[in-house]
Amino acid sequence: MTPQTLLKHIDEGKLWSNEELTSIPADVSQAYQTALQVRKLREARGEQPRGYKIGFTNRSIWERYQVFEPIWGTVWNTTLTMANAQGEGTVDISHMSQPRLEPELVFGMRCTPPADLTVQSLFESIEWMSSGFEIVQSHSLDWKFKVADTVTDSGLHAHLLVGKQVPLKDVASNGAQLHELLAGMSLELVHAGKVAEKGHATNVLDSPLMALLHFMKALRQCPGAPDVKAGDVITTGTWTDAWPLVAGQTWESRYDSLLTGLKIKLV
């Protein structure tokens, strides 16, 4: 598929045909170059990159989706919403393809991390963290795909809702301490008054901070990929499975420590 065709599917929320799906090369490096071409098309029409999403960091769901490595994609001003003071947000899913919900931890970047990437140097590059809901989508029927398909599909990113920001300086004094604190966290994903699933931060490559470290290294190995910059938001991967969505639903996340929960209403 051409970048123009891929973007048309994103805009219209329509599934790829089987012919379109089978036309996607299996080479992951090539898939990132295609995704970067889609990024340029979106920038050319006025959309502004606001950061990145990291996907498939949760090892517990790799077998289910037959994707065995993390991926990444761009977050846009058009796909980013900040929750209100009550920790609530409303998202329109009417033009999304097979949307699913993922509770995640989001980082806000203070600056571009240095070339010497360590847990500590990354810690020093982060301004804040927050709860988040990422809505992911797939243009491949029934979420059946190869890893290159997910990369070509802009990392499956559809929307990101960001909760209350917690300054990192109020949480930990160094990278090792932050990793330890995050690794001990858990959350409950609640729908219709019932806990749908309990998730653990250790599912995410041992902690969201480690997921961010992995992503930074991968990003800088990708030719042509823009580096992370001050003000970027980066969402680090789901703590649970991805849950199918329909308009009219309300979902809520409840964290056991450090972060306030988040509520999302779907229209």
What does the domain layout of the chain look like in residue ranges?
Answer: 3-266
**Per DSSP, what are the bridge partners of residue 260?**
none
At 171 the pLDDT is 96
Helices 28-44/3-12 angle, 10° precision = 70
At 151 the pLDDT is 98
At 83 the pLDDT is 98
At 143 the pLDDT is 96
Q: CA 189: distance to chain centroid?
A: 17
Which of 263, 261, 264, 250 is closest to 105 using CA atoms?
Answer: 261
Structure tokens, 132 = 């988040």
Q: Which amino acid is at 216?
A: M
Q: Is the pTM of this model over 0.75?
A: yes
Q: What is the CATH number of domain 3-266?
A: 3.90.850.10
**Distance separating alpha carbons of residues 116 and 9, to the nearest angstrom:** 39
Q: CA 71: distance to chain centroid?
A: 9
**Distance separating alpha carbons of residues 210 and 216, to the nearest angstrom:** 10
Q: Cβ distance 260 to 164 under 8 Å? A: yes
Q: Which amino acid is at 156?
A: L
191-228: pLDDT as tens digits:
999 999 999 999 999 999 999 999 999 999 999 999 99
At 176 the pLDDT is 97
